Amino acid sequence: MSTFSYEIFHAVVERKTFYQAAVALNVTPSAVSHSINQLENELGFPLFIRNRTGVELTSDGKRILPIVQEILNTEERLRQEAANINGLNAGSIRIGAFSSVCISWLPPIIQKFKQQYPDIAISIVQSDFNDIVNQAKIGTIDIGFSALPIADPLVVTPLIADPIFCITPQNFVPAHKSYITAADVANQDFILQQTDYDRDTKRALDRYNVRPNSLRYSIDDQSILAMVESGLGMGILPELALQKLSGNVNIYPFDQDFHRTVALVANKIQAVAPSTKKMLQAIKAYIDQRYPENLLA
């Protein structure tokens, strides 16, 4: 089997239709269909379920997807290493990150990186913690920003402890004036992102006995601030998220330390790819400079 057949398989998985995969690879739809049929015949089982709207992976197709991705990643590593030997510093990097990293960290990191390595292509995928870990495990991204704990067998590099704060309407003042206690949050509604509730946010809410029926959910951090500003409840947001947000709200620490640990993740194959190693070094240098007192790695 040629690696191009794997590229076609991967393109169909990403694009969901043979036609869109053909457009992405600049080949005809019949060439895509022929390649997939040939790959299915060689493997001995169907890879896709065809339907009116496109295609989806069969259960067997899902099993081989990480293996195909690993083959493609290894081939990309080979191309990058050859380019480095020839002094070209070429390659590509796929980065997965949650919203506050995309907004606050990645612009200056990428800007400086592109000055040093203009021929390395960079693509960004924004998603939540769990999806980023899963994509790093499969190999569809090279580097991911997520938050601990991470149980998957990945290369994990803790970066910073990001403090978590309570966000209140402007007219709310806690009993102790400068920090939040359990008495302050009793019988209060909280507005969160759904994806945050399985980690450090839940730990803080559980500590203060906030009832699940007191929770409301919003789509993003800025929407949380807008809803808190309107008096619809309180919010919990980490410092990194608050740096680029604005709203007429109060920000208070809790009477106990709550934080999330932001970390880098990569699978073992991608972590040693030349362009990935360069980007990991660039990220670490940025974090070292920006957070000299708050480093974990």
Q: What is the pLDDT of residues 199-256, one digit of tens each?
A: 778 888 888 888 877 888 887 888 999 999 999 999 999 999 998 888 899 999 999 9
pLDDT in tens, 47-62: 999 888 889 999 999 9
The CATH number assigned to the domain holding 247 equals 3.40.190.10
User: Looking at the structure, do residues 38 and 110 belong to the same domain, yes or no?
Assistant: no
Structural domain count of the chain? 3
Q: What confidence score (pLDDT) does residue 153 get?
A: 86
Residue 75 located in a structural domain? no
Tell me, yes or no, if the pTM score tops 0.85: no
User: Looking at the structure, do residues 50 and 194 belong to the same domain, yes or no?
Assistant: no
User: Looking at the structure, do residues 234 and 170 belong to the same domain, yes or no?
Assistant: yes
pLDDT in tens, 21-41: 989 888 888 888 888 998 999
Residue 78 located in a structural domain? no
Supply the angle between the helices 3-15 and 18-25 in degrees, to the nearest 10.
120
Residue 74 located in a structural domain? no
Q: What is the mean pLDDT of the chain?
A: 88
Distance CA 259, CA 271 (A): 27
pLDDT in tens, 121-151: 999 999 999 899 999 988 899 999 999 989 8
Domain range spanning residue 144? Answer: 89-158+261-295
Residue 58 located in a structural domain? yes
Q: Which helix (H) or strand (E) holds 76?
A: helix 59-85
CB contact set of 209 (below 8 Å; sequence gap of 6+): 182, 186
User: Looking at the structure, do residues 132 and 248 belong to the same domain, yes or no?
Assistant: no
List C-alpha distances in Å: 22 to 12, 27, 33, 92. Answer: 8, 5, 9, 21
Cis preceding linkage at 149, omega within 30 = yes
pLDDT in tens, 150-190: 988 899 999 999 999 999 999 999 999 999 999 999 889 99
Residue 83 located in a structural domain? no
Confidence class of residue 296 from pLDDT cuts 50, 70 and 90?
A: low
Dihedral (Cα; 188, 228, 196, 289), 10-degree rounding:
-130
